[in-house]
Structure 1
Amino acid sequence: MLQTLAITGPIYLVIALGFLAGRFGIFSKLDMRVLGTYVVRFALPALVFTALSQRPVSEVMNGRYVLGYAVGSLTVMLAAFGWGWRWQGKSFTLSALCGLGVSSSNSGFIGYPIAILVAGPASAAVGLAMCMLVENLLMIPLTLVMADSGHAGGGRWYRILVQSLIQLARNPVILAIVGGFVVSLTGIPITGVLARTINMLAMSSAAVSLFVIGGTLVGLKTKGMRRDVTAIALGKLMLHPLAVGLMMWLVPPDDHTLRAAAVVFAATPMLSIYPILAQKYGFEDMCAAALLLATVLSFLTISVILWLLGPILGWAA
């Protein structure tokens, strides 16, 4: 258990530092937004590009990992959607957003810093790239299509899908994934000043991203929405890693550290842009509250999951 706390402790201390910096006005909400933009547009793409470009495609593109993570995430997403629409009587749009909340992780801001300590830099970076492929090419477009289909004034599903794919084509992380694969396939060497510059940007990702998460939690409230918010948060922190873990057991990647990384990524709170995606439909307050509760509870749930993963990773008791 001490090994687990040694891993999670620094992660949540940096998050707490970001929260305190925002709470006492050292950094404003606008400042945190600027730092978050830096991470999303520069640091994370550099990290993903470095991970993919420096390894053979056969090592990077692990079909079993992608299949297991995608099926596990999609299963939980559809289960949460069914729970909201059929059993709770919620709208089609809100049910789709509930599904996204329990099935899409904060892979870059929280998942990667933990995974790098659990599975090592190589497995963590490769796992991050594959998780982002699943989230950006499957989970987010599917949710937007479903949410817009149930929203008043929403367009036809295929137009929504095309618009989502066009936006994804401009996403720096997606461009970094494509670029990394191209470099890996062609064998183009990235050396010298360019390599050192990309590495410097990549190394800044973990600390800055955690700091931003803490800052964004300032001012979020859960009052009046506790039942739904609790269901989404617990579904994300418990059902998602359980489903992905089951798939990693049924269709295991050869590298056991990749299996552990997949569970770690699934165990993190929902993606930080979750409330932003919900803003268009008027549900940003509920989604922000779910993000807050999941982030707070994740200190306990991730610690338990890492403790359970200890024997698999060969940690000492």
Structure 2
Amino acid sequence: MIETILNGLLPVAFVIFLGWLSCRIGLLQHESAGVLATLVIRFALPFALFLGAAKTPPEKLENIDFGTCLAFGLMGGYLVALVVGRYLFRHDLKTATMQALVCGFPDMAYFGAPILAAMFGPEGFLAVLVGNLVTSIFMLPLTIVLTRVADKKEAGHHWGEAWHILSHALVGAAINPIVWLPLLGVALSFAHVALPDPVLASVDTIARAAGGTSLFALGIMLYGERFAINANVLANIGIKNFLQPGLMALGVALFGLSGGPARQVIITGAVPTATAASMFALKNNTYTADATATILLSTLLGIAIEAALIALLGT
């Protein structure tokens, strides 16, 4: 169990430290994180999601109850956080949306995958792949739409132009590579199209940069950042680390999952916040400090929660 947890934690801590160290010794500046955020959000992460979808056999993507349970837990946490941010903390729409993403988007690919693989073998990657499809099809497009709507309002547009605002936001989301590339991967999977090895190798080269670059950029963001635990961060931790796995457990009961799939979705729900969420916050120039603090605390707490779940659920 200790080895399983270390496999998920140590690489994360090491790369974050390297990012922090690069600023500490003057090789990079705090502002450099913005460039890396663009690399992750516009290129590396979309291609990583595309590759995962394209290489997944279609029969694995057709498990409706499994996918619905993951969607229930992931989107449930996101929507609860959106309401909390908007109406409890009185954030503007863009800030509340970033808070929702921080609470709803778990680090399935880079924290959850090693743990799930260690517990369930190759089948453990199914929760990662289907979970990332849920975020690609529902969560990330909704985030893009809401932030674009917020930008339109800030630019002076009024709700009387709601259809104009929404149509522009939907178009903006549809042409964003983090939305259409994973959908293209799903289409290729269901069409039984096998990409040539040189194409897969080319895509994999940029896709592999997503995890390490996100963590490195997070380390850069941490340097010089005033770390504070406030009501926002505590609420985020409550939603991400406790409510979301609870919603997954509720989904297991509602959709009749059992055995390995049931354990997979609960463990996936307990995975801490993805570093990519802080990249979105940075790109939108809002909620960066609280996002960074949430990711760090969520990761530390996630280790203990995952360890408890591994001991409780076993294999």
Sort the TM-score into its range (normalised by shorter chain).
0.7 to 0.9
Q: Which amino acid aligns with 2:239?
A: G
Point out where structure 2 has 5 or more consecutive residues left out of the alignment: none
| 2:110 corresponds to | 113
- Alpha-carbon distance change, 182 to 153 in structure 1, aligned in 2, over 3 angstroms: closer
Q: Which amino acid aligns with 2:291?
A: L
- 1:286-305 equivalence runs, <5 A: 287-305=287-305
Q: Which amino acid aligns with 2:18?
A: L
Once the two structures are superposed, what CA deviation does each residue of 1:6-60 show, in whole Å capped at 9, x if it has no partner?
4212212221221222333222234333333223333223322222222332312
* Contact 1:54-1:184 within 8 A present in 2 as well: yes
Q: Which amino acid aligns with 1:12?
A: A
- Alpha-carbon distance change, 138 to 50 in structure 1, aligned in 2, over 3 angstroms: same
2:307 and 2:61 map into 1 onto residues whose CA distance is: 27
TM-score by length of 1: 0.77
- Alpha-carbon distance change, 82 to 114 in structure 1, aligned in 2, over 3 angstroms: closer
* Contact 1:96-1:146 within 8 A present in 2 as well: no
* Contact 2:245-2:269 within 8 A present in 1 as well: yes
- 1:57-136 equivalence runs, <5 A: 57-83=58-84, 90=90, 93=93, 96-97=96-97, 100-101=100-101, 103-105=103-105, 107=106, 110-120=107-117, 122-123=125-126, 124-136=128-140
Shift of residue 271 of structure 1?
A: 1.3
How many residue pairs align between the two structures? 304
* Contact 1:236-1:269 within 8 A present in 2 as well: no
Point out where structure 1 has 5 or more consecutive residues left out of the alignment: none
Shift of residue 83 of structure 1?
A: 4.5
1:219 and 1:186 map into 2 onto residues whose CA distance is: 49
Shift of residue 307 of structure 1?
A: 0.9
Residue 242 (structure 2) aligned to one of 238, 241, 252: 238
Q: Percent identity?
A: 22
Q: Which amino acid aligns with 1:55?
A: T
- 1:1-317 equivalence runs, <5 A: 2-3=2-3, 4-83=5-84, 90=90, 93=93, 96-97=96-97, 100-101=100-101, 103-105=103-105, 107=106, 110-120=107-117, 122-123=125-126, 124-138=128-142, 140-141=144-145, 145=149, 153-155=157-159, 156-221=161-226, 226-251=230-255, 252=257, 255-256=261-262, 258-260=264-266, 262-265=268-271, 268=274, 271-276=277-282, 279=285, 284=286, 287-311=287-311, 314=314
Give 3-state SS (helix, strand or coil) of 1:47's partner.
Answer: helix
Once the two structures are superposed, what CA deviation does each residue of 1:219-250 show, in whole Å capped at 9, x if it has no partner?
33356x83334333443333233323432443
Shift of residue 303 of structure 1?
A: 0.4
